[in-house]
């Protein structure tokens, strides 16, 4: 499917989508739509209220269709995206080859969300099904999407669409990485994906394998991997724009547990099959580096992903064991299912010792505690730096990938105090779990003044229109790209 910018007068698509906001002037809006479509306004007023994601299809005598798409009262970026994604996903088998979206009543700022929604609507979760009989004329190579904009929007429209296309392609790839079962996406394969992406998009990727991890002393990562037959890797992706004008050096660290049984502290079996999702932080980091390279952002960006499985066998790390780490600090392992913070300890340590970024951010599907606090509507943000917190929250508000700041007070240090080691990986308490996890990670930043931890456990995997189970969202890529663009 190809996208073009056009004026309302220059094209006549076979299907036209008109987004409608639920304002006090809705009746007047429907009168204008009635004049265009030939449908009496009284009928539109009765059948369409412009509720969020409400769809009213209208049929013309010549076979053309018009879809009215409700956006609710005060739609934000994510509301636009989800409305278009759901419409195009549910209607993709019925859409003709030529589709237009009438955006003449809106500013150019909605274009990114619209394009991301449309592209998302074409995603197919049936990655390994052998029989796929349905086809979509619109999402075929011959499909055409015309974004109908006014004269004042034309100047910025193409740049916004180009950026959205780059983001959409990366996000869809990240969703596939996360949705792939662990026998199709293990640490080595994740490293191979990163190498191929770097070669394609012009950034460098180094993958450290087990012998080098042992040589360099990434003992925390190695300890989590002990129960697995598959070796761990440390992926280091670095994008540095050509020429001068680099704004900042930013380091991103993402948790890459490609499958998490919980180790000896094994998880219940009921939802364990969803633990292929425990690499949401890795997907966010790798996706952000790729997107930044595609968009040629003026930022020096380093992404580090410690990747491993957390499995159970006779060699697995046991509760009560004391392990080492890249920075030399010793960790008492209270709970082997609190493994994400252990591998992030080495990822953060490797970043601060070898790259010294001005800004350091880690992302991880880390705790169920943050879901208990925030549900599935925001990720937890932990930082001591008010300016960094403000900029990240603003990026979250602009993109709809929201963050909520949580405390990081030193009174919580007591929760990670160990009797036998420098610190322990789990408090053992049924409270404040996401905060104690953040305090654990803070130790391995070596007091970095601009560090933020994003606990994305409730956001990386969600219920969507794609399937009957939770599936990947690519949360974090758009958030971080917006943050980097606004540095």
Q: Which CATH class for the 168-485 domain?
A: alpha beta
Residue 337 annotated as binding? yes
The residue with tokens 């790798």 is 286
278 is annotated as contributing to ligand binding: yes
- What SS3 state is found at 145? strand
- Is residue 260 a known part of a binding site? yes
* Rounded distance between C-alpha atoms, residue 378 and residue 263, angstroms: 28
Q: Tell me the CA end-to-end span of the chain in Å, nearest whole number.
A: 33
- Note the Cα 482 to chain centre separation in Å: 12
pTM of the model: 0.96
Q: How far apart are CA 434 and CA 382, in angstroms?
A: 9
pLDDT digits (tens, 9 = 90+) for 408-425: 999 999 999 999 999 999
Using DSSP bridges, classify how beta strands 379-383 and 451-455 pair: parallel, antiparallel or unpaired: antiparallel
As a whole number of angstroms, the distance between CA 342 and CA 235 comes to: 16
Please say if the pLDDT value at position 152 is more than 80.
Answer: no
Average pLDDT, the chain: 96
Catalytic residue among 85, 92, 341, 450: 341
397 has binding-site annotation = no
**Burial category of 277 from C-beta neighbours within 10 Å (exposed 0-12, middle 13-18, buried 19 and up):** buried
Give the span between the Cα atoms of 76 and 88, in whole angstroms: 19
The DSSP bridge partners found for residue 234 are: 208, 306
Q: How confident is the model at residue 123 (pLDDT cuts 50, 70, 90)?
A: very high
Alpha carbons 449 and 360: distance in angstroms, whole number: 9
Distance of CA 214 to the CA centre of its chain: 31
CATH 3.40.220.10: does it fit domain 2-152?
yes
Per-domain residue ranges of the chain: 2-152, 168-485
Helices 477-485 and 154-179 pack at an angle, to 10 degrees, of 140
The answer to whether 339 is a known ligand-binding residue is yes
Helices (H) and strands (E) in the chain, counts: 14, 20
Per-residue model confidence (pLDDT) at position 153? 78
Q: Is 30 exposed, middle or buried (0-12, 13-18, 19+ CB in 10 A)?
A: buried
The beta strand positions in 117-274, using DSSP E, are 144-148, 204-208, 233-239, 249-254, 256-260
Q: Is pLDDT of 135 > 90?
A: no
Please state, in angstroms and rounded to a whole number, the distance separating the CA atoms of residues 23 and 50.
9
444 contacts 344 by C-beta, under 8 angstroms:
yes
Query: What would the pLDDT profile of 321-330 be if each residue is shown by its tens digit?
Result: 999 999 999 9
Cα within 13 Å of Cα(56), Cβ side: 22
* Catalytic residue, candidates 49, 53, 248, 267: 267
pLDDT tens digits, 176-221: 999 999 999 999 999 999 999 999 999 999 999 999 999 999 999 9
Catalytic-residue membership of 267: yes
Q: 174: closest CA among 272, 88, 285?
A: 285
Quick check: 362 and 391 in contact, CB under 8 A? no
């Amino acid at each position: 499917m190809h996208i073009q910018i056009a004026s309302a007068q220059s094209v006549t698509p076979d299907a036209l989508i008109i987004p409608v906001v639920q304002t006090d002037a809705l009746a007047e809006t429907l009168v204008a739509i009635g004049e265009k479509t030939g449908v009496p306004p009284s009928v539109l007023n009765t059948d369409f209220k412009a509720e969020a994601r409400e769809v009213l299809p209208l049929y013309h005598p010549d076979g053309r269709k018009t879809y009215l798409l409700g956006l609710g009262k005060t739609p934000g970026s994510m509301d636009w995206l989800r409305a278009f994604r759901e419409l195009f996903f549910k209607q993709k088998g019925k859409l003709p080859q030529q589709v237009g979206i009438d955006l003449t009543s809106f500013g150019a700022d909605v274009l990114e969300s619209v394009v991301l929604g449309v592209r998302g609507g074409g995603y197919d979760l049936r990655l390994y099904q052998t029989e796929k009989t349905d086809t979509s004329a619109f999402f075929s190579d011959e499909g055409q999407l015309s974004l109908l904009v006014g004269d004042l929007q034309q100047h910025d429209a193409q740049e916004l669409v180009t950026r959205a296309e780059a983001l959409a392609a990366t996000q869809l790839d990240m969703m596939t990485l996360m949705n792939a079962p662990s026998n199709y996406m293990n640490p080595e394969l994740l490293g191979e994906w990163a190498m191929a992406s770097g070669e394609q998009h012009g950034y460098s990727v180094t993958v450290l394998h087990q012998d080098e991890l042992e040589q360099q002393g990434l003992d925390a990562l190695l300890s989590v991997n002990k129960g697995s037959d598959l070796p761990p890797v440390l992926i280091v992706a670095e994008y540095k724009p050509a020429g001068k004008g680099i704004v900042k050096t930013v380091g991103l660290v993402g948790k890459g547990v490609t499958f998490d049984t919980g180790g000896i502290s094994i998880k219940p079996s009921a939802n364990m099959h969803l633990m292929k999702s425990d690499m949401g932080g890795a997907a966010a980091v790798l996706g952000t580096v790729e997107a930044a390279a595609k968009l040629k952002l003026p930022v020096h960006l380093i992404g580090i992903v410690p990747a491993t499985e957390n499995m159970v066998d006779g060699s697995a790390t046991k509760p009560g064991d004391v392990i080492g780490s890249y920075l030399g600090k010793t960790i008492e392992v209270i709970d082997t299912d609190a493994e994400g913070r252990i591998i992030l300890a080495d990822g953060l340590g490797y970043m601060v010792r070898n790259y010294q970024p001005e800004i350091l951010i880690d992302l991880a599907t880390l705790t169920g505690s943050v879901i208990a606090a925030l549900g599935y509507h925001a990720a937890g943000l932990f930082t001591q730096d008010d300016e960094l917190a403000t900029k990240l929250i603003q990026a979250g508000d602009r993109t709809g990938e929201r963050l909520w700041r949580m405390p990081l007070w030193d009174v919580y240090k007591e929760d990670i105090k160990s009797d036998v080691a420098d610190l322990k990986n789990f408090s053992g308490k049924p409270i404040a779990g996401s905060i104690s996890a953040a305090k654990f990670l803070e130790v391995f930043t070596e007091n970095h003044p601009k560090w933020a931890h994003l606990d994305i456990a409730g956001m990386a995997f969600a219920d969507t229109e794609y399937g009957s189970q939770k599936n990947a969202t690519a949360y974090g890529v758009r958030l971080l790209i917006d943050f980097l663009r606004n540095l």
